[in-house]
């Protein structure tokens, strides 16, 4: 019998219906379809337009699909971790709302905020509850309504982000599959380069912060790009070294979808062929916590039991990391 590990046993996902194309953005800011596509790899992104709806209204679709696909009774879920940068409220936690919406009567929940690295942080955290033997079924949700904090007059951010969510079910595995290893990093000195300047306890909302448009995402693109290229590639290479993996051993790179050039740099550092690199940034843009689970959702039918999968992410703050897992089931 192998070591007890946490395996992904199902995936759910959801993106809103409204499609914001590069052509439409040409009408909002000084940009072109070619400029956006060349520099980011993005053609379009999805937005939640329904008034009064937040991240929970996106994520609940992913959770419900996950429960249905895995034939899981909501009462069986022990824990739900909601990884998000755009919670419905400061409190209560969006995870609490999701438990109520999905009828998870026996689960406890909490939110985890690590910007774009949130989902892999949550995946590793959820895995610990499984590996300890405390819980049998854990849902990890990654989702964001980024359109709620984007200034559509700011070319540096509005071309990048979209809305979406994905969710996975973690269950115990003793057959050699599941989360095998992880490398997680943080560097708070990067906070000033990618952040939302106001709205927290340090700088509460006021007429002045609203007038200064400090409740939108702020990014110094060149600095963030340089940090992301270096650090995401570094941890991906490190996790391969730690586990004696060659490029031939890795079946798939499931990378955060922030910029196609960052993804390519990570794949190059790992020595991976383009065919092993999963991409959906062209259709969804950067959905922050949603990118990695949405990739799993989009490409689920390509995965085969035993596949070596490397996940990698980089987020504001700065946060970054990589996860190595062995896929636990064949597509249906």
Active site residue 83: no
Q: Quick one: CA dihedral 259, 116, 331, 245, positive or negative?
A: positive
Active site residue 99: no
Which of these, 298, 262, 261, lies nearest to 278 by C-alpha position? 298
Per the residue annotation, which of 116, 158, 231, 259 is the catalytic one? 116
Per the residue annotation, which of 158, 256, 259, 289 is the catalytic one? 256
Strand pairing class (79-83; 178-186): unpaired
Q: 198: which DSSP letter?
A: S
Strand pairing class (108-112; 217-219): unpaired
- Distance from C-alpha of 140 to C-alpha of 251, rounded to nearest angstrom: 23
Which of these, 16, 4, 29, lies nearest to 294 by C-alpha position? 16
Do 259 and 282 contact (CB within 8 A), yes or no? no
Distances in Å between the Cα of 64 and the Cα atoms of 11, 69, 71, 279, 332 are 10, 9, 10, 24, 18
259: CB partners within 8 A, 6+ apart: 39, 40, 41, 160, 225, 228, 281, 286
Do 260 and 40 contact (CB within 8 A), yes or no? yes
Q: 211: which DSSP letter?
A: H
Token pair, residue 242, equals 């730690």
List the alpha helices (DSSP H) in the chain: 22-25, 33-40, 55-69, 94-102, 118-131, 155-158, 207-211, 221-242, 260-270, 281-284, 291-298
Active site residue 286: yes
Residues forming the active site:
116, 256, 286
């Amino acid at each position: 019998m192998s070591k007890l590990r946490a395996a992904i046993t199902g995936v759910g996902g959801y993106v809103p219906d409204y499609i914001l194309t590069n052509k439409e953005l040409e009408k909002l800011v000084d940009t072109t379809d070619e400029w956006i596509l060349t520099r980011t790899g993005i053609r379009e992104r999805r937005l939640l337009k329904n008034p009064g709806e937040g991240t929970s209204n996106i994520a609940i679709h992913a959770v419900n699909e996950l429960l249905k696909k895995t034939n899981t009774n909501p009462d069986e879920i022990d824990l739900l971790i909601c990884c998000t940068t755009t919670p419905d409220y400061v409190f209560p936690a969006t995870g609490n709302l999701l438990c109520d919406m999905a009828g998870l009567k026996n689960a406890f929940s909490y939110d985890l905020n690590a910007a774009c690295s949130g989902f892999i942080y949550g995946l590793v955290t959820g895995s610990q509850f499984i590996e300890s033997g405390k819980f049998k079924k854990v849902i990890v949700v990654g989702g964001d309504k980024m359109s709620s904090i984007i200034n559509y007059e700011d070319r540096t951010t509005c071309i990048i982000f979209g809305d979406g969510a994905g969710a996975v079910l973690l269950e115990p595995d003793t057959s050699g599959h599941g989360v095998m290893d992880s490398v997680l990093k943080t560097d708070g000195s990067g906070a000033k380069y990618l952040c939302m300047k106001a709205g927290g306890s340090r700088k509460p909302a006021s007429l002045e912060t609203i007038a200064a448009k400090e409740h939108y995402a702020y990014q110094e693109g060149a600095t963030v790009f340089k940090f992301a290229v270096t650090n995401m590639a570094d941890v991906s290479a490190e996790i391969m070294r730690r586990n004696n993996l060659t490029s031939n051993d890795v079946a798939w790179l499931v990378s955060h979808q922030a910029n196609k050039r960052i993804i390519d740099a990570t794949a190059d550092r790992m020595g991976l062929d383009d065919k092993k690199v999963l991409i959906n940034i062209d259709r969804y843009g950067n959905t922050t916590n949603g990118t990695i689970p949405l990739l799993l959702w989009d490409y689920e039918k390509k995965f085969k039991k035993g596949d070596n999968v490397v996940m990698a992410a980089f987020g504001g703050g700065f946060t970054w990391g990589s996860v190595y897992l062995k896929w636990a089931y064949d597509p249906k």
